[in-house]
Amino acid sequence: MGKIKKKGTSGNAKNYLSRSQAVRKLQISLPDFRRLCIFKGIYPREPRSKKRVSKSSTPSTTFYYAKDIQYLLHEPLLAKFRDQKALAKKISKALGRNEVGDAARFEKNLAPKLKLDHIIKERYPTFVDALRDLDDALSMLFLFANLPSTQNVPPKMIARCQRLTMEFEHYLIRTHAVRKTFLSIKGIYYQATIQGQDILWLVPYRFVQMAGPDVDFRIMGTFVDFYATLLGFVNFRLYTSIGLVYPPRFDLKSEEQGAELGAFQLEGEQMEAQAEAVGMLDVDAHDKAQAQADRLLEEADPEQIGEPQSSYMTAPETAEQQDTDMDDTLVPADQSQEGTSQTPLAALDEFASIDPKADTLLQPGLTADADVAGKLFEPFTFFLSRETPRHSLEFLVKAFGCKRVGWDNTLGEGAYCNESDTRITHQVVDRPELPLPSPPPTDGEDEGEVVSSKSNVRVPGRTYVQPQWVWDSINAGKLQRADLYAPGATLPPHLSPWVKPKKGQYDPTVPLAEQETALEAEQEAIAAEEGEDDVDEGSSGEEVEGVRGDEEVEALEHSLLSGNAITQGEGMDVALADSDSESELEAEPIEDDEFGGFSSASEVDEEESATTAHQNELLAEARGETIDEPKITKKTRIAAAKSRQTKAEREEAEQKERQKMMMPRRKRKMYEKMVYSNARKDEEAEELREKRRKIEKGKAGRA
Amino acid sequence: MAQQRAGQKRKVVEIPLAEQVEDDVLGNGDFDEELAEDEGSDGDEEFDEDEEEDGDEEDSDEEPLSEDGEDVRQQLRDLKTSSSVEIVDPDKDPDTDLATNGTYTPEKRPADLSNYDISVDANGNPRYIYKDIEPNYDTDDSDAPITKNTIGNIPLSYYDAYPHIGYDVNGRCIQRPAKGAALDSLLDSIDIPAGWTGLTDPATGKPLNLSREELEVLKKLSRNETPGDGYDPYPDMVEYFTGKGMEEVMPLSAAPEPKRRFVPSMHEHKRVMKIVKAIKEGRIKPYKEPTAEDLEKEEQEQEYAQYDVWANEVPRPDHAMNMPAPKLPPPGYEESYHPPPEYLPDKHQQEEWEKQDEEDRTRDFLPKDHSALRKVPGYAKFVKEKFERCLDLYLAPRVRRSKLNIDPESLLPKLPDPAELRPFPDHRSVEYVGHKGRVRTIAIDPTGDYLASGGDDGTVRIWELSTGHLKQKVRLSTTDPVNIVAWRPVISPPILAACCADNVHFIVPTDSTSPTAQAEAHTLLTAGFSAAPTIPTKSATGVDKPSPSSWHTPIPAHASQSISLTLSLRSTPKTLTWHRRGTYFATVCPSSGSPSTAIAIHALPTHTSQHPFKRLKGLPQTALFHPSQPKFFLATRQRVRIYDLQAGKLVRELLPGARWISSLSLHPGGNNLLIGSYDRKLLWHDLELAPTPYKTLRYHTRAIRDVAFHPTLQLFADASDDGSVQIFHGKVVEDGFENATIVPLKVLKGHRVRGELGVLGVVWHPREARCVSAGADGVVRMWA
């Protein structure tokens, strides 16, 4: 007999620790443990069998991996925490003795400074790892950059978050790395692709954020500390990779004037950049070149930039004064220009599948390429109206190639131009409607002359768009029709760029007819047809005795449904009688259903009934009687469509039932779960389609 | 009444008893008495003045009021606090008399003899009346308290109803001080005594007097003034020891100053020199106040990355326990600020969403349409959402879950198309109606033309299989059911074995067979009678063993029904299975006394029977002959044992895992065994594989009664008490490289469940894909 094994000495029982055990082992307080876990990225685990893991009788809820805790034991931060504790004791002692000066001195000089550098390296051994985990970091930091300073959120922390996020945005502007963006009701989502990693973050709208009483800012503060350190290092790496000095020069004065992005001045490091260029990727090299070009552009006089722009502008101006017409001419011109510039850059080709049944591979969007993204708004000069979200627009427009963005002075310093500037091609406004100026404006004789001082009058020669135009253009990868987004116009729906159309799921971009199922379409067609003479909706759900016809009848019915004009002749008479008598006979097995769902019998009966029905008819004909022509109501026809569906379905269901019988139980359960979830998704999609149908019908009714 | 009592008292006093008391009660009684008397006399003296003054008036007052003495008392009660003057009650007079009497009684008799008088009370008993103690110099008792309160610690109001308050040591009432309106004139006439306050001392009920000085103090206290005239609350401090002119002039010690006070310290010098040296060497840097520049630099160092952490990055190999946090899903259409209208919730959905608990909501927001960006409000739950994400990141347990993103259809096993597996029975074709009560057993003859059935009505019926026409009916018994019918598996001549009660009857069908065949059958059955009789075996004790069976010609009633032979067993057989050649058959009688006698193998040509198993574990249920090998399958309740009949030994034991086996069926190939069990399991055993089942099928909701392999086609069926027969395709590949494939084909429902019994038996047509089932509802059905 072997040695009796003691319980809880090996296996899972040893691999996991409950939280209180972990805290006891580390000999720190619970808040410190929490901080440590947040910094080190330690999270509880879900052991396979909780019962085997827990050593106590009470069900413990959180378990930590024992090796994680072991690894925490050697954390240098632990020593810092202990120092902090000691300091707290000293300070409280001093305060107890009324030695405020001492306490202040302690706090100033002795407070241990937590350095998280080593943790960054530990948690993210490679840069790509860090990028992969940047989603939460960016969302948090952007939130804190927009928070009001309170006791829990010191202004220093906010300033740090603001600086870090804006530095990151500057990098994105430089490299044109933003790919997609989305205006949601929560805030603005952005997605950037850096070194092949998709980073998605959410920026709140600029309102005062309300935090409920159940929000613990200490926890969030700990996260922000860590994330700020992380983003600092990421920014350093990103900046140096495109040959910029980090940290960029920060102009406190202009920041105070509300310059935001403009308060930073990026500087290149010529010497180091050249040395590093060897090791850099192609994209980086390109970016660097772009950056240098940008710098050159910036150094040049604004007039010089203005000139080509104005010459470019003159062409449409002379051609047409009308706003809408100008849009039409402008947009193709852009595209043609883009097209010519794209060809040498070997942009991605579109793969159109010839066979609709074949699998289609997902292609990266048009803006997936930095070069394309960088050219989207390049030729334009934007002016942001007072009511638009300046920061996000400025960031996006700049990230997509535009260099010249002006805004109202009230929005802050650093605008490229003011509203009266004639170089402006696009004005982003978010107002109910802007009337055209009643007198035809004098064609801009003087460039600097104020065309119209009133802000609520359109300046001819500019395209007025609502902010959504910018977002939609970015997501589509090409400029959208500006007239759809004119001020006061009803905007087209703003769609999330991340939803991938799936088979069977509802897709709002595709017309309804293309995505509804055959059954739905048929019902719809019948309903539409019927709806002309009698409006009797809601019957579609009703159950009617199944009318099951053979193929002939089906064909006839089909031709009927499709609206072919058939004279009310004999052929139709027979056909319909056929279906009708069948339906009566069909009811038989239901009536004498004493065998309790004897499925096979009905099938046999079916054939028999078909023959007998035919005989009945012949008899009737011979006798010279006419069988009453039954009314083809909508109900019966929908039911017919349904029953046809159900027959095939029933067979299929039977087959599936048999297959399921042969599955092991575990697999069967999994299968059933999947079928259930799929059915729910289908249901949702159907509901959406139904809603859309109703809306479309309502629109048609109004029109 | 008061007067009467007074009179009584007087009487007591008036009759002095000169008799001696036998003994002294107390030695020191006289001291007490003397003291008491002395004090009492003091009190008397006080009262005397008043007494003398108001003696006349008192008498005049009392007479008219004597009738309503109660009124007086009431008035006295009402005035208990207001009346302050101590007035002697008229009742008091006798007391004072007594006191005066007492003072002179000692003169009559010696004081040391007794300190009490003995008198007779109303009942004629002796009554001791103690004399008042005179506290003169003869008595030592100077501590005796003045009888102020004799009522103890009870409120004074308890005596409100009485004119007195308490009693003295002799039981005489201590009179309440006089009060009342009657005395007002007296009050007017006399001066208010000095110190009268109008208050009553609650302890004695006597008026509380205060002197003028005391009143003055009280008045000052109540006005927050200093109580006395000469009292100074803030006296000047008298500096006795300190202050000007009181300084200490002389030191405490007269010792001279030590030298070290004037010489520089050597040790200090050493320490300073050490520091000087350290500074010179640069080991100690003098403190420099950090400038703003330095501070800023330091801060920047803290806040901004100064170097590349990932300068030399080494990727970490992926580990199963390293689970990166899952990313948040990207927003969908419904989160848009201006979503397509179909994504907006209608009123009903909105209400539902609002009604739901926050945790139950599938979405944490309600889609909303804003016609322009400027109309979008701030999202109220933004901070909360981010906070919850933070909590999730560090508090939520993480576990790796592989998510199957596949079409669920791909999980379904590939089954052959049922059309390919045709033919199999899928509908009813013929019904055989006639049996009364349950049909217990059915059998199809080897030619496939006739069907035999037996049931609870004790008849065996032979039907034409294809039409359902009743060919022959044999009544075996009127009471016992027919348990088994089994055709001899040889085509010619046709013989049907039927078990009813303890007997096995061999029936030669008349209607369906030619006379020659009948004769042939008859000779075959009766040939055994001419065979040599078996020598009865002897048991160890020498007593003849009872023969397991007896073969005899049938009784005339049976013989007329074309029964040629009857075999009587000792208990009811429930299974009868033929050997393939038709010479042997086995019967199993589960109800037999011992397991060993439950199974008997019979030889038809010789009319012999034997119990081949001497010792058998478990209760035998059913048995089978192997179709090609000399093997015998025997099922006990939970096991199936395979015996080699030639070698006479156990070959194999199967462990189906069923609780109670009901039926067995062997595949015609002989390598696959089907076991049906009462615990709803259908077990497929591949005999070349493990002793455990190859497949366990559980598709019935009630017990399985019968299972049957098709003799030629790849089909098998089972019958269950839930009223259904299930048809399966069971493909067996004989090469042994491939496992059998089982495909469920059809559930045949049609039999009714009667008394928890559904279908009791199922048999296959020998060649065609038809099966026949026997129902507890008395109907036999063919399925085609």
- Quick one: three-class SS letters along B634-649? EEECCCEEEEECCCCE
Same domain as B110, residue B21:
yes
**pLDDT at res. A259:** 83
C-beta of residue A141 within 8 angstroms of C-beta of residue A159: no
C-beta of residue A194 within 8 angstroms of C-beta of residue A420: no
Residue among A234, A165, A228, A233 at smallest CA distance from A39: A228
The region that residue B501 occupies, defined by phi over 0 for left and psi between -120 and 50 for alpha, beta otherwise, is left
Same domain as B644, residue B525:
no
The region of weakest confidence among A227-241, A584-598, B77-91 is: A584-598
**pLDDT at res. A494:** 92
Sign of the torsion formed by the C-alpha atoms of B677, B682, B684 and B690: negative
Residue among B442, B545, B416 at smallest CA distance from B496: B442
* Helices of type H across B117-192: 184-189
Residue among A135, A115, A301, A287 at smallest CA distance from B325: A135
| Mean pLDDT to the nearest integer, A137-158 | 92
Query: HEC string of B266-293?
Result: HHHHHHHHHHHHHHHHCCCCCCCCCCHH
d(CA A573, CA A581): 12
- pLDDT tens profile B157-206: 888 888 888 887 777 888 877 666 767 777 777 777 777 777 888 888 88
Give the angle B526-B527-B531 at the CA atoms, nearest 5°.
Answer: 125
Q: How many CB atoms lie within 10 A of CB A285?
A: 14
**pLDDT at res. B215:** 85
Distances A542 to A539, A635, A639, A647, B129 between C-alpha atoms, Å: 5, 8, 8, 17, 119
pLDDT confidence of B382, banded at 50, 70, 90?
Answer: very high
Q: At what angle do helices A270-277 and A217-241 cross, to 10 degrees?
A: 80
B365 contacts in chain A (CB < 8 Å): 185-186
pLDDT confidence of A624, banded at 50, 70, 90?
Answer: low
Residue among A494, A468, A496 at smallest CA distance from A482: A468
What residue ranges define each of the domains in chain A, with the CATH number in brackets?
117-290 (no CATH), 309-342+367-436+455-498 (3.40.50.10190), 508-537+663-703 (no CATH), 538-591+598-654 (no CATH)
Q: Check B336 against A126: CB less than 8 A apart.
A: no
**Residue B709: inside a domain:** yes
Residue with the larger pLDDT of the pair B542 and A210:
A210
Q: Assess whether pLDDT exceeds 60 at residue B544.
A: no
**Residue B43: inside a domain:** yes
Task: Indicate the number of domains in chain B.
Answer: 3
Q: What percent of chain B has pLDDT over 90?
A: 9
C-beta of residue A66 within 8 angstroms of C-beta of residue A14: yes
Same domain as B648, residue B574:
no
pLDDT confidence of A79, banded at 50, 70, 90?
Answer: very high
Answer whether A136 touches B (CB < 8 Å). yes
The residues, any chain, with a CB within 8 Å of residue A507's CB and separated by 6 or more, are: A501, A515
Residue among A434, A407, A437, A431 at smallest CA distance from A419: A407
Beta bridge partners of B622: B635
pLDDT confidence of A141, banded at 50, 70, 90?
Answer: very high
Mean per-residue pLDDT over chain B, rounded: 77
Strand B207-209 relative to strand B196-200: parallel, antiparallel, unpaired? antiparallel
**pLDDT at res. A611:** 58
Same domain as B166, residue B101:
yes
Which of A656-670, B91-105, B693-707 has the largest mean confidence?
Answer: B693-707
Measured in angstroms, the CA of B636 and the nearest CA of chain A are apart by 28
Q: From the candidates B386, B404, B725, which should be mutated to test the interface with A, based on the most A CB atoms within 10 A?
A: B386
C-beta of residue B146 within 8 angstroms of C-beta of residue B51: no
Residue with the larger pLDDT of the pair B784 and A392:
A392
Q: Check A215 against B333: CB less than 8 A apart.
A: no
Same domain as B698, residue B583:
no
- Nearest by CB to residue A185, choosing from B368, B415, B752, is B368
Give the angle B98-B102-B104 at the CA atoms, nearest 5°.
Answer: 120
Sheet holding B599-603, edge to edge: B575-578, B584-588, B599-603, B608-610
For the record, the structure tokens of B779 come out as 């109907």
Residue among B322, A23, A62, A26 at smallest CA distance from A54: A62
- What global pTM score does this model have? 0.56
Whether the ω angle into residue B533 lies within 30 degrees of 0, i.e. cis, is no
- As a dihedral over the C-alpha atoms of residue B287, residue B290, residue B291, residue B293, rounded to 10 degrees, the angle is 140
The region of weakest confidence among A226-235, A371-380, A566-575, B397-406 is: A566-575
d(CA A21, CA A55): 11
pLDDT confidence of B272, banded at 50, 70, 90?
Answer: very high
**Residue B222: inside a domain:** no
Q: From the candidates A184, A652, A687, which should be mutated to test the interface with B, based on the most B CB atoms within 10 A?
A: A184
Same domain as B588, residue B552:
yes
C-beta of residue B728 within 8 angstroms of C-beta of residue A576: no
Q: From the candidates A63, A128, A185, A495, which should be mutated to test the interface with B, based on the most B CB atoms within 10 A?
A: A185
- pLDDT tens profile A428-441: 998 887 666 655 44
Question: Where a domain ends, among B565, B590, B613?
Answer: B613
**Residue B357: inside a domain:** no
Measured in angstroms, the CA of A675 and the nearest CA of chain B are apart by 6
The residues, any chain, with a CB within 8 Å of residue A1's CB and separated by 6 or more, are: none
The residues, any chain, with a CB within 8 Å of residue B449's CB and separated by 6 or more, are: B464, B465, B466, B512
| Mean pLDDT to the nearest integer, B272-280 | 94
Owning domain of residue B16: 2-193
Question: Where a domain ends, among B566, B595, B613?
Answer: B613
C-beta of residue B156 within 8 angstroms of C-beta of residue B202: yes
d(CA A626, CA B599): 73
Same domain as B641, residue B699:
yes
| Mean pLDDT to the nearest integer, B448-467 | 87
**Residue B409: inside a domain:** no
Measured in angstroms, the CA of A614 and the nearest CA of chain B are apart by 23
Q: What percent of chain A has pLDDT over 90?
A: 28
Q: From the candidates B383, B399, B420, B749, which should be mutated to test the interface with A, based on the most A CB atoms within 10 A?
A: B383
Hey, is B99 helix, strand or coil? helix
Answer whether A494 touches B (CB < 8 Å). yes
- Nearest by CB to residue B331, choosing from A132, A204, A498, is A498
**pLDDT at res. B140:** 61
Same domain as B487, residue B623:
no
d(CA A389, CA A428): 10
Length of chain B, please?
Answer: 784
A600 contacts in chain B (CB < 8 Å): 426-427, 746, 748
d(CA B746, CA B724): 10
- Nearest by CB to residue B338, choosing from A120, A209, A494, is A494
- Nearest by CB to residue A237, choosing from B310, B379, B749, is B310
Distances B113 to A667, B23, B99, B120 between C-alpha atoms, Å: 123, 9, 19, 19
Q: Assess whether pLDDT exceeds 50 at residue A601.
A: no
- pLDDT tens profile B686-700: 888 888 888 888 888
Measured in angstroms, the CA of A336 and the nearest CA of chain B are apart by 31
Half-sphere exposure of A352 (CA within 13 A, CB side): 1
Question: Where a domain ends, among B193, B224, B251?
Answer: B193
Strands (E), B315-383: none
**pLDDT at res. A347:** 52
**Residue B767: inside a domain:** no
Length of chain A, please?
Answer: 703
C-beta of residue A485 within 8 angstroms of C-beta of residue A491: yes
**Residue B757: inside a domain:** no
| Mean pLDDT to the nearest integer, B143-161 | 75
Sheet holding B649-654, edge to edge: B620-625, B631-636, B640-644, B649-654
Mean per-residue pLDDT over chain A, rounded: 74
Measured in angstroms, the CA of A182 and the nearest CA of chain B are apart by 7
Q: In this prediction, does ipTM exceed 0.95?
A: no
Q: Which amino acid is at B695?
A: K
Q: Check B398 against A46: CB less than 8 A apart.
A: yes
- pLDDT tens profile A263-296: 888 888 764 444 444 334 444 444 554 555 455 5
Q: Which contacts (CB < 8 Å, 24+ apart) does range B590-599 have?
A: B590/B619, B590/B620, B590/B621, B595/B619, B595/B620, B595/B636, B597/B548, B597/B570, B597/B571, B598/B571, B599/B623, B599/B634
C-beta of residue A19 within 8 angstroms of C-beta of residue A62: yes
Residue with the larger pLDDT of the pair A622 and A259:
A259
Q: Check B386 against A140: CB less than 8 A apart.
A: yes
Same domain as B609, residue B654:
no
| Closest residue of chain B to A688, computed from CA coordinates | B342
Residue among B443, B380, B351 at smallest CA distance from B774: B443
Sign of the torsion formed by the C-alpha atoms of B344, B348, B351 and B352: negative
Same domain as B646, residue B587:
no
- Nearest by CB to residue B336, choosing from A113, A124, A494, is A494
For the record, the structure tokens of A699 come out as 């629109």
Residue with the larger pLDDT of the pair A310 and A27:
A27
Sign of the torsion formed by the C-alpha atoms of B335, B337, B340 and B342: positive
The region of weakest confidence among B86-90, B454-458, B660-664, B756-760 is: B86-90
Q: What CATH number does residue B563 fall under? A: 2.130.10.10
Name the phi and psi angles at B466, rounded to 5: -75, -25
Same domain as B648, residue B605:
no
Distances A364 to A477, A595, B651 between C-alpha atoms, Å: 11, 60, 69
Q: Assess whether pLDDT exceeds 60 at residue A630.
A: no
**Residue B362: inside a domain:** no
A695 contacts in chain B (CB < 8 Å): 341-342
Q: What is the CA radius of gyration of chain A?
A: 36
DSSP B722-745: TSEEEEEEEE--TTSSS--EEEEE
- pLDDT tens profile B409-452: 777 877 777 677 778 888 888 888 888 888 889 998 888 888 89
Q: How many CB atoms lie within 10 A of CB A97?
A: 10
Q: Assess whether pLDDT exceeds 50 at residue A478.
A: yes
Residue with the larger pLDDT of the pair B512 and B17:
B512
- Nearest by CB to residue B383, choosing from A65, A210, A506, is A210
d(CA A416, CA A399): 16
Residue with the larger pLDDT of the pair B754 and A43:
A43
Query: HEC string of A452-472?
Result: CCCCCCCCCCCEEECHHHHHH
Hey, is B21 helix, strand or coil? coil
Same domain as B630, residue B588:
no
C-beta of residue A616 within 8 angstroms of C-beta of residue A581: yes
Q: How many CB atoms lie within 10 A of CB A415?
A: 21
Q: Assess whether pLDDT exceeds 70 at residue A300.
A: no
Looking at chain A from residue 41 to 100, which residues have their Cβ under 8 Å from any Cβ of chain B? Answer: 42-46, 62-63, 65, 67
